[in-house]
Amino acid sequence: MTALPATVATAASPAEPRPEDGVATGDAVPAEDAVPTGDAVPTGLVMLARAEWPASPDDVLPAIPGFVTSSFSPLVAEVAQQCLRRYFGTAPADPALGERTALVLASATGDIGTAAAIALAVDEGRRVPPLLFFQSNPNAVVGYLTARWGLGGPVVATIPVGDAMADAQDCASLLITDGDADAVLIILADQARAGDERDHGVALLVGPRSWPQATDSLSFPAR
């Protein structure tokens, strides 16, 4: 897919930004917080909102009822909800827009924590907690998000072998081109592989310029 130039059309959020969400869409973005070129929006769409976790070294993932042991599902939920709040405000989303919003989750690691917990229980001959089987399918946390926010479009979860963002953008473009959705929430979530690393997630809400207040633009310095 051909990425757009460094100047990316970005929509202003119809919801008032919250201080805990950091830089709100529509504000001038410092060079160190600029969207990497890998976040280029698929052709013909605009970036309605963006979030990244962690935003600071002190950030801690909130727990989600029904999800245990692994940080993967809380990571997906937190970065996605930060992004959705920046555009829609509080849950649920405006029904007219939410019903036409799809979700694409891409992860290079998958849920390492849950897989490791299941493998350890099997190796030690212990009973595997049922919740681990439930959350081992990424559709579990995706379903949590779509139900909470009223997102009615298709959902796609992938573990791409190459560029996760490019893969997610391709999926988003196909869903919109085929008429299955007007906008797509793209989520990238990767768990830490080593003790000195941190989990990392990025979420983009991309959609048509015709959506509410989708008129502003930001210039992001190329990296």
CATH number of domain containing 101:
3.40.47
Q: Which residues contact 162 (CB under 8 A, 6 or more apart)?
A: none
CA distances for 5 relative to 11, 128, 146, 218, angstroms: 17, 49, 31, 12
CA distances for 152 relative to 50, 75, 138, 163, angstroms: 20, 22, 17, 27
Predicted local confidence at residue 136, as pLDDT: 64
- Report whether pLDDT(78) > 60: yes
Pairing of strands 155-158, 101-106: parallel
pLDDT, tens digit (0-9, with 9 covering 90-100), for 130-174: 766 655 667 789 999 999 999 999 999 998 888 999 999 999 999
Q: Is residue 154 part of a domain?
A: yes
Q: Is residue 1 part of a domain?
A: no
Q: Is residue 2 part of a domain?
A: no
- Report whether pLDDT(25) > 90: no
Predicted local confidence at residue 110, as pLDDT: 77
Q: Which residues contact 163 (CB under 8 A, 6 or more apart)?
A: 38
Predicted local confidence at residue 27, as pLDDT: 37
Which two three-digit tokens encode residue 123? 């190796």
Predicted local confidence at residue 158, as pLDDT: 92
Between CA 17 and CA 90 the distance in angstroms is 11
Q: Domain span at residue 183?
A: 7-219
Predicted local confidence at residue 109, as pLDDT: 83
Q: Is residue 37 part of a domain?
A: yes
Instruction: Calculate mean pLDDT across residues 201-222.
Output: 67
CB 74 within 8 A of CB 144: no
- Report whether pLDDT(17) > 70: no
| pLDDT top residue among 67 and 10 | 67
Q: Which amino acid is at 63?
A: A
Q: Please count the structural domains in the chain.
A: 1
Predicted local confidence at residue 207, as pLDDT: 94
